[in-house]
Structure 1
Amino acid sequence: MTNLTETWVFADGNMTAGGDAAEIDRLLAAELEQIGTTDGGWRRLFRHRADGSLWQLDYPQSELHGGGPRRLVRLDNADCTTWQ
């Protein structure tokens, strides 16, 4: 299972995205299409355009301002059958 996690880094008085943020942005912009949403939009389901794999975008630290850093996870078959 692929698990990409964004981090928030406070540097020079500014909060910036770090960790896997650039790869998450790239996948969302170029390779994934949204096919579902739940939890008021806090969890979204995507399909990879090339290989058909399913990915979930969520915010595991949702108590933070703005929902916190993002996490993008490639789902295995067991996760896909229970996604709602």
Structure 2
Amino acid sequence: MKCACATLYRLDDAEARHYATEHLQRLAVDNETWSVTYECPGTGRKWLLDYPHSEYHGGGPPRLRQLDFDGTPLEVVLKDPDL
């Protein structure tokens, strides 16, 4: 699979799971929060796969977000540069 880590910062649903399993390397699993941290083997960028809809069965569809150097999802940084 071609690396898109320089141009993507978020994927949802099946695209999130596919990109994570086909391109990224798993670093850590947090069973308490149902999240998995991944790293791109080519760029070293970190990603977080989580399930933001805890009210749904199984946590709902997955969400994959790229993290900045502090571990904050990039979409949060892009929305509010003062964070």
TM over 0.5: yes
Match status 1:5 vs 2:12:
yes
Alignment of 1:1-84 (within 5 A): 2-6=9-13, 21=14, 23-40=15-32, 42-79=34-71
Contact 2:17–2:62 (CA<8 Å) still a contact in 1? no
TM-fit CA distance, 1:40:
2.7
Structure 1 regions of 5+ residues with no counterpart? 7-20
Query: After superposition, what is the alpha-carbon deviation per residue over 1:62-84, rounded to whole angstroms, capped at 9, x for unaligned?
Result: 1100111110001011226xxxx
- When you count strand as a share of all residues, which structure comes out higher? 1
**Structure 1 vs Structure 2 CA RMSD:** 1.9
Structure 2 regions of 5+ residues with no counterpart? 1-7, 73-83
TM-fit CA distance, 1:39:
4.2
Cα distance change, pair 38–2 in 1 and its aligned pair in 2 (3 A) = same
Report the AA paired with residue 42 of structure 1.
W
Q: How many matched pairs?
A: 65
Percentage identity across paired residues of the two chains:
34
